[in-house]
């Protein structure tokens, strides 16, 4: 029997172990890796090539949405399930646009998690019942973002979105350069380009932008 391979990523060890215990109790499912942040999740996905990646949306260094984009770029046949504490129309839109096909609220417990994995294994979508209607209405209407802000966000490159998160988390240019393997000058250039593209004028503006667009959690 071919095992369904699952990668789990959450910055809380107890959550990862709980998911491992729950999911490996099901016949045919195997946890092929664990990660404590989004960057580690991408690296482990590249090595282990899971069928499904379960990602917490708010992880340090690289959030779950950006990790989703990067994983699906290298493994387009994989499925991604996002876990979050928040039910929000903005978050739902971002999850879908990142390419994930499942969204589960942590507050709904293990039953939804198992149901979501079963659905994604069968190439179906799954969203916690509480947010199902939000998906249908919010994703279609795109009411939460202005057209201008949506266009600005899409103008950012994947690397620039990584830089936004690190800066919003309080990293200096030097720390950003070290985290991403860039020169300090390149990190500074990314920062200037980001501020120009988003029409931001200070680091506090950038932090507010990152919170409003679910790149970091407040």
Q: Residue 77: is it exposed, middle or buried by C-beta count within 10 angstroms (0-12/13-18/19+)? A: exposed
Q: Which of 63, 62, 69 is nearest to 83 (CA)?
A: 63
CB 79 within 8 A of CB 53: yes
* pLDDT tens, position by position, 12-68: 999 999 999 999 999 999 999 999 999 999 999 999 999 999 999 999 999 999 999
**Mean pLDDT lowest among 100-104, 171-175, 178-182, 207-211:** 207-211
Residues 104 and 29 reside in one and the same domain = yes
Q: Cβ neighbours of residue 117 under 8 Å, at least 6 residues apart?
A: 4, 6, 23, 26, 29, 52, 54, 81
Statement to judge: residues 115 and 29 lie in one domain: yes
Residue 218 lies in a domain: no
* pLDDT tens per residue across span 53-112: 999 999 999 999 999 999 999 999 999 999 988 777 777 778 888 999 998 988 887 889
Same domain, yes or no: 152 and 130: no
- In terms of domains, do 109 and 204 share one? no
Please state the rounded mean pLDDT for residues 174-201: 91
d(Cα 121, Cα 101) in Å, to the nearest integer?
Answer: 11
Distance CA 97, CA 66 (A): 11
pLDDT at site 79 = 96
CB 177 within 8 A of CB 183: yes
In whole numbers, what is the pLDDT of the chain averaged over residues? 86
> Where does the pLDDT of residue 169 fall: very low under 50, low under 70, confident under 90, or very high at 90 and above?
confident
Please state the rounded mean pLDDT for residues 110-126. Answer: 92
In total, how many domains does the chain have? 2
Domain finish residue from 89, 109, 141: 141
The 3-state DSSP class for residue 61 equals: coil
Domain identity same for 169 and 126: no
**End position of a domain, from candidates 108, 126, 141:** 141
Q: Provide the pLDDT for residue 22.
A: 94
Q: Look at 107 and 149; give whichever has higher pLDDT.
A: 107
Query: Residue 14: is it exposed, middle or buried by C-beta count within 10 angstroms (0-12/13-18/19+)?
Result: exposed
Q: Is the pLDDT of residue 143 over 50?
A: no
Residue 140 has pLDDT above 80, yes or no: no
136 and 57 within one domain: yes
Give the domain range for residue 25.
4-141
Residues 101 and 151 grouped into a single domain: no
Rounded Cα gap, residues 143 and 150, in angstroms: 11
Specify the CATH number for the domain of residue 166: 1.10.10.10
């Amino acid at each position: 029997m071919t095992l369904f391979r699952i990668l789990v990523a959450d910055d809380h060890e107890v959550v990862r172990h709980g998911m491992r215990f729950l999911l490996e109790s099901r016949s045919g499912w195997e946890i092929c890796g664990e990660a404590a942040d989004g960057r580690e999740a991408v690296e482990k996905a590249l090595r282990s090539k899971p069928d499904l990646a379960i990602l917490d949306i708010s992880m340090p260094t690289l959030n779950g949405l950006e990790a989703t984009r990067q994983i699906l770029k290298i493994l387009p046949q994989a499925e991604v399930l996002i876990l979050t504490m928040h039910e929000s129309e903005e978050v739902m839109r971002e999850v879908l646009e990142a390419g994930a096909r499942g969204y589960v609220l942590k507050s709904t417990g293990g039953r939804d998690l198992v149901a979501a994995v079963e659905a994604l294994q069968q190439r179906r979508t799954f969203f916690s019942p509480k947010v199902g209607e939000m998906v249908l209405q919010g994703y279609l209407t795109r009411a939460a973002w202005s057209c201008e802000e949506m266009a600005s966000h899409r103008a950012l490159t994947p690397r620039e979105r990584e830089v936004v998160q690190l800066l919003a988390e309080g990293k200096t240019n030097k720390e950003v350069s070290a985290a991403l393997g860039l020169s300090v000058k390149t990190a500074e250039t990314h920062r200037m380009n980001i501020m120009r593209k988003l029409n931001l004028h200070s680091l506090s503006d950038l932090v507010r932008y990152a919170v409003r667009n679910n790149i970091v959690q407040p």
